[in-house]
Amino acid sequence: MPDPQGTPTHESPSSKDARAQVATTARRKANRPWFKTMRFILSLAVIILVAIIWGANRRGDLGASHGAKSSSQVTVTKALPVKAATARIGTKVRDGQFEFVVTGVEHPGKTLAGKVGETLTANGEFVIVVVNVTNLGKQDQAPNCSCQYLMNDKGQTFKPSSWILRTKEALKFVQMITPGNTVNGVLMLFDVAPGTNVVNIQLHDSPVSPGVNVKLS
């Protein structure tokens, strides 16, 4: 009986070729010129550097965008499609379902008394436009639109200051007016640069309405 342990193992030609190919590849990698390895490392470093620079620029853009938003809360530099204002203080004007009557303009200066003894401080100085608002529509609606724009003699426009919600008359600005009713003495509060010559106010029923202009001077 033949001895199994004495029988020689024959390796197939395909197995030998595979092992030879692996050995050849390993030798090539080991003998790769140093400048090719360095070129790969430099390429990788350039990619990483570009990614870092792009990330830093992206953060800078976001910061600039945030700063622009913060400043736009006080001053709006875009041009508005406005018509020549013919209405004056005391004249009834209408936009959408609201009828407005501007009754006066006040210049309290740098500070203004707020709720419960609080003192409100402007970045520049405050301007208050006092308006009576009547709801001529069929639905309840509040006049608290940030699209009420104050205009100066240089064509700049200003949105209502966020301090308006801290004034003593804040409720009139945000309360819902039922159809057929009027709220007198609604304050439109603005924060403008010192010495600004305000000339018009553009009052809106909503952000998408055309608006109506009233002369303030």
Assigned domain for 195 exists: yes
Q: Decide if 153 is inside a domain.
A: yes
Token digits for 199? 């000339």
Give how many domains the chain has, as a whole number. 2
pLDDT at residue 117 in the model: 85
Same domain as 198, residue 97: yes
Boundaries of domain holding 141: 78-215
What is the DSSP secondary-structure string of 98-113?
EEEEEEEEEEEEEEEE
DSSP letter string, 57-106:
HHHHHHHHHHHHHHHHTTEE-SPP--PPP-B-TT-EEEETTEEEEEEEEE
The verdict on 44 and 97 lying in the same domain is no
What pLDDT is recorded for position 48?
A: 66
pLDDT of 91 = 95
Q: 129 and 63 in one domain?
A: no
Dist CA 90 CA 132 (whole Å): 10
Q: Which of 72, 89, 119 is the last residue of a domain?
A: 72
What's the rounded Cα separation, in Å, for the pair 70 and 115?
Answer: 24
What's residue 72's pLDDT?
Answer: 33
5 part of a folded domain:
no
Question: How do 75-76 and 157-158 pair as beta strands?
Answer: antiparallel
Asked if residue 211 and residue 137 are part of one domain, the reply reads: yes
| Sequential pLDDT tens for the chain (217 residues) | 445 444 454 555 555 555 656 556 556 655 555 445 555 565 666 566 555 555 444 444 333 333 333 333 444 445 455 455 579 999 999 999 999 999 999 999 999 999 888 999 999 999 999 999 999 999 999 999 889 999 999 989 999 999 999 999 999 999 999 999 999 999 999 999 999 999 999 999 999 999 999 999 7
164 and 146, same structural domain?
yes
Quote the pLDDT of residue 47. Answer: 63
Q: Measure CA of the first residue to CA of the last residue in the chain; give whole Å.
A: 125
* Domain contains 102: yes
d(CA 123, CA 36): 62
Sign of the Cα torsion 103, 79, 73, 98 reads positive
pTM here?
0.63
Same domain, 113 and 46: no
Alpha-carbon distance of 149 to 127, in angstroms, equals: 12
Helices (H), the chain: 13-30, 34-72, 170-174
Tell me if 4 is assigned to some domain: no
